[in-house]
Structure 1
């Protein structure tokens, strides 16, 4: 039911956006797209996936082994599951599969995935803060967003770096949420504690993972800038570092299917000073392709994960 509602909300938002643009003009934009930048921008999913797989390898404890191509299969299959399952359950399935294959324990496998996603979010916020501080527009709206994103980044770093701060936050969440959700929070806290014990024991490795995450998100934002060039539009790269993370963050809100709709609307609003809504709608389609293409690449590996998904509810992760 929740997935049906999210798809409905996405369709409503998209219908509003597309009712205000010329569909023939949108088709012409793609027909006349840049012959070099379009394939280059779409092909960026390859190095992004490869670097993400390499990071997953580096996250593994030294006593375990995860092959590079197996890491790629895990990431691609999780991309498929994330498209069809709610709440990024594909990543949870990835943790479960890693445990089933004997790579590491259940709590540590979940903490690894949680740490991986935390690094992604903090890296995205870091680039957003960097871009917003250099962004020339300094009105109340963007100053408020700069303050909000900066606050989120600081809190995220504190949660990731301070076990006491994280325990305090988990305690508050357990008190204010229903018991059913509180049990999940308690399980997440257990995994978070395992994550602290594992990752903070090797600060050199932690620094390498953090730097890799920042670089991976630089590639993500570079890809979106390439999309803009592919549509024969222009935005200064520094400006794109501010605006594209805001659109991605809008897509992370649990309102729509895979961020479709909210992300598209954010692109139309934020990029309005640089190009019209028709181009922004095209950019929204390409940004959706960023998630769709890895999912297509993961289809050949999906069958071995179906059992994982069926057994996920019985998992003790």
Structure 2
């Protein structure tokens, strides 16, 4: 039922957007796009998937065999589920699949994925905070967003660095959370504790994973900037470092289907100083393709993993 509600919200937002946009102008934007930049920007999906798969390999303990091909298959299979689950929750399926394949036990696999997603979110917030700081035309809204992003980044780093602060945070969350969420928070707290114990014992490895995550998200934002070049738009790169993360964060809100609708609306709103509405709508479609292409490529692998799970249950 929740999925149907999310899909309905996405469709309503898209209907509002495209009711206000001349679709002929939108088609003209794609017809007159730069084919070279379009090909390069879309092809960025390949190195992004490759670097993310390599990072997953680095996350597993020494002595655990997780091949590069297997790591790529896990990333692509999770991409399929990310299209239908809110807030990138499909990535948590990687933990289940790694357990079923015998790579790791369940709790460690879950903690690794929690750490991976934490690094992703903090890296995105880091680039967003930097972009908002150097954004040239700041009004009260951008100062508010900058303060919120910086606050989220600081809280995330404190929770990642201090186990005692993390325990206080989880206790406070469980006190005010609905009963239906408390069991999930208990599981997340256990995974967070195991993550602390595992990753802080090797600070060199921790630094390498964090640096890789920051670099991966630089490539993500670079891809979106390349989309603007493909659409013959003039968006300063530093401005894109502020605007693209805001649109991505809007898409992570668990309101719509795979972020479709909220992300598109955010792109139109935030890129307004640089893009007309039809060009911004085209950019929204290209940003959706960033998630759609890996999901299509991951369908065969997801079927393989689901078949494996079904076989083992028998």
Q: Could you say which TM-score interval applies, normalised by the shorter chain? A: over 0.9
Matches of 2:97 and 2:150, distance apart in 1: 35
Aligned partners of 1:93 and 1:308 also within 8 Å? no
Offset from partner CA, 1:54-86 (integer Å, 9 cap, x none)? 000000001311100100000001101221344
Q: Does the alignment pair 1:185 with 2:171?
A: no
The separation in 2 between residues aligned to 1:178 and 1:246, in whole angstroms, is: 28
1:65-144 alignment runs, 5 A limit: 65-86=65-86, 88-144=88-144
Q: Which residue of 2 aligns with 1:293?
A: 293
8 Å CA contact 2:17, 2:265 repeated in 1: yes
Aligned partner of 1:257 in structure 2 is 257
Structure 1 segment 222-261 matched on structure 2, within 5 A:
222-261=222-261
In 1: Cα distance, 2:228 partner to 2:89 partner: 31
Q: Secondary structure, in 3 states, of the residue corresponding to 1:302?
A: helix
CA drift of 1:88 comes to 3.5
Which aligned runs of 4 or more in structure 1 are off by greater than 4 angstroms?
307-311
| Cα distance in structure 2, aligned partners of 1:40 and 1:141 | 34
Q: Assess if the C-alpha contact under 8 Å between 2:80 and 2:298 holds in 1.
A: yes
1:216 maps onto 2:216 in alignment: yes
SS of 1:65's equivalent in the other structure is coil
Change (3 A) 1:310 1:122: farther
Residues 93, 309 of structure 1: 8 Å contact kept: no
Give the TM-score normalised by structure 2.
0.96
Contact 1:96–1:308 (Cα < 8 Å) also in 2: no
Output the aligned Cα RMSD: 1.4
Name the CA distance, whole Å, in 1 between partners of 2:270 and 2:156: 25
Q: Report the secondary structure of 1:192's partner residue.
A: helix
C-alpha distance in 2, partners of 1:310/1:4? 26
The residue aligned with 1:26 is 26
SS at match of 2:35: coil
Which residue in the other structure is 1:174 paired with?
Answer: 174
Unmatched tracts of structure 1, length 5 or more: none
TM-score, normalised to structure 1's length?
Answer: 0.96
**Taking structure 1 as reference, are residues 38 and 193 closer, same or farther at Cα in structure 2, changes over 3 Å only?**
same
